[in-house]
Structure 1
Amino acid sequence: MRPADVDLAERLADAAGAAIRPFFRSRFDIETKADASPVTEADRAAEAAMRRIIEAEYPRDGIIGEEYGVKDSATGRSWVLDPIDGTVSFMAGRPIFGTLVALVEEGWPVIGVIDQPVARERWVGVVGRPTLFNGKPATSRRCPRLDGAKIATTSPHLFNEGEGEAFLRLVAKASASNLRQGPIYGGDCYNYGLVASGHIDLVVEAGLKLHDYAALVPVVEGAGGTMCDWAGDPLNADSAGDVIALGDPARLEDAVAALAT
């Protein structure tokens, strides 16, 4: 990791935000991709803006982008870009989507940015440093027990049948003493920023791709939390895409056990 890399990651988020904001709650073209997910003009404009900067400044680095695919790396470093994580929320005019920027070195995320360009909220995580939220340290909160933990996921409809059953088992354990405390739905990457800032205890998702989770890892872990797959293993470029984010690492064994039971 070079000294200028963090600055570049933030400039990439700045460029994406400048491209996205004119489209928010406005008219824009929408298409459906091969995987049935939507893509808008804003998604493509934001990723194109980020790729131009990387190609001009670090032409030998790789790029892994949701909209424009993979450019191979000659350095062992790749910039992983999700211009709008939460396109459905963006289309609905809900400012809980975000731009994700990550630097991955030899398969491991070392820098992550979660940027909400409308609310102007930004989490920056760097391996070995405290996570910053709008320039000030962010700290996840302790969670004395799984019962009572605030759990979030983007949508239960994104789980397959087995994953959905596992998630509901976890929700049941977290709601054992208060049946009215259900999970929080919606939020995409924004939920992980809220874990880092101590407002949510646990996020569980499955079927994510590298561009969905690479930036989240340094953010959550730099705030004192942990991120792993459903087996408790660290996340890297080869991970399958099932994800746990915990504000309090002491609850990891409980969460893994609940999902596996």
Structure 2
Amino acid sequence: MSTHQHFAEFALSLLDRTRPVVAQYFRKDIPIEIKSDASPVTLCDKAVEAEIRAALAETFPDHGIFGEEHGKTALDAKYVWVIDPIDGTRAFITGVPLFGTLVALLEDGKPILGMIDTPALGETWLGVDGTTSFNGQPCKTRQRALKDAAIFTTTPDLYKGENQRRWLAVQNAVQTVRYGTDCYAAGLVASGLADGMIEVGIQPYDVLALVNVIEGAGGKVTDWSGRPLGIDGDGTLLAAGTPELHAELLALLA
């Protein structure tokens, strides 16, 4: 068994701890806090991350952690776990089941494992060692020409100034644009049901889990400058189902 496979089994074991927490809170009347960046957070976000941190403390106590809700520890460690306990909190608090728990593992700063779990749907994508599985079965991206592609973004309202021009260039070049599916979009790209996603103004915990999921299925993920994603990203994401489509989208964003 490879070291990475050991990490993959650990990541999947987290679902036994995180899914019951989500079930306890989802579609229930719970308090909502507004953070300093104007984004919402709930008891569920905090409790899910606490569960993952507890599991890491038991199994990999010398590993670093970068979590959305409970901060950063030992980011200089060889292995660093990056956690977004509820990606899509706005979906979560409005009863939309497309939110997910994101877990990534970095080795010497490079993503080597990514997991997207959508607990309300019971769907999990896991990317590790150059392959991606969906609920335990291999999945692959699809081949699509730019003019036939379906691309996701959170909302066009995020694109201002020059970024708005870039987004409109993409929107006018593709067949279909869809909004507001958070991390679920990455899973759909990995499963060959959509072709890419583009984001701006994001944090490392929003996207690092997506890298291995999409690339293990045959796609490519970078920032808008074509650089690999890491802890110190510039807040942009370009993911596509094939390297060829990625190159075409990258040119439109240039």
Deviation of the 1:5 alpha carbon: 1.0
- How many residue pairs get aligned? The number is 252
2:128 pairs with one of 126, 131, 134: 126
> Is contact 1:13-1:101 (8 Å) kept?
no
- Please report how far the alpha carbon of residue 4 of structure 1 lies from its aligned counterpart in structure 2 after TM superposition: 2.0
Q: 2:11 aligns with which of 9, 25, 31?
A: 9
How many Å separate the matches in 2 of 1:54 and 1:135? 23
Shift of 1:3: 4.2
Secondary structure at 1:131 match in 2? strand
CA distance in 2 between counterparts of 1:147 and 1:126 reads: 31
Inter-CA distance 240–14: structure 2 relative to 1 (3 Å threshold): farther
1:224 and 2:218 aligned: yes
- Cα offset for 1:105? 1.0
Following superposition, the deviation at residue 241 of structure 1 comes to 2.1
Question: Retained in 1: the 8 A contact 2:133–2:139?
Answer: yes
Runs of 4+ in 1 over 3 A off after TM superposition: none
Aligned partners of 2:154, 2:161: CA distance in 1, in Å? 16
Contact 2:4 2:128 in 1 (8 A): no
Contact 2:152 2:185 in 1 (8 A): yes
Aligned partner of 1:186 among 180, 199, 216: 180
Change (3 A) 1:165 1:118: same
Q: Secondary structure at the match of 2:197?
A: strand
Q: CA deviation at 1:160?
A: 3.0
Structure 2 CA distance for aligned equivalents of residues 246 and 12 of structure 1: 28
For the residue of structure 1 that corresponds to 2:111, the secondary structure is strand
Judge conservation of contact 1:28–1:40 (CA < 8 Å) in 2: yes
Aligned AA (1:240): D
- 2-side partners of 1:60 and 1:73: how far apart? 11
1:161 matched to 2:165: no
* Structure 1 alignment gaps of length 5 or more: 176-180
Change (3 A) 1:75 1:253: closer
Residue equivalent to 2:171: 171
1:64-103: CA deviations, max 9, x gaps? 1000000115641111100000000011100011000111
Candidates 242, 250, 254, aligned match of 1:248: 242
Q: Conserved in 2, the CA contact under 8 Å of 1:150 and 1:201?
A: yes
How far did residue 2 of structure 1 move? 4.8
Q: Aligned to 2:205, which of 189, 211, 224?
A: 211
Counterpart AA for 2:224: W
In the TM superposition, residue 233 of structure 1 has moved relative to its aligned partner by 2.0
Secondary structure at 1:172 match in 2? helix
What TM-score, normalized to structure 1? 0.93
Please, which runs of 5 or more residues in structure 2 have no aligned partner?
none
Counterpart residue identity of residue 134, structure 1: N
Aligned-partner SS, 1:214: helix
Judged with a 3 Å threshold, the aligned counterparts in structure 2 of structure 1 residues 186 and 254 are, in CA distance, closer, same or farther, namely same
Q: Write out per-residue CA displacement over residues 171-224 of structure 1, whole angstroms, 9 at most, x where no aligned residue.
A: 10114xxxxx4x100110000000000111111001111101111000000001
Separation in structure 2 between the aligned mates of residue 142 and residue 151 of structure 1, nearest angstrom: 13
Does the aligned pair in 2 maintain the 1:107–1:238 contact within 8 Å?
A: no
How does the TM-score come out when normalised to structure 2? 0.95
Retained in 2: the 8 A contact 1:60–1:73? no
Q: Which stretch has the larger CA shift, 251-260 or 113-122?
A: 251-260
Identity %: 42
Letter in 2 for 1:50: I
Q: Residues 14 and 187 of structure 1: is their aligned pair in 2 closer, same or farther, counting only changes over 3 Å?
A: farther
Contact 1:230–1:243 at 8 Å: present in 2 too? yes
SS at match of 2:224: coil
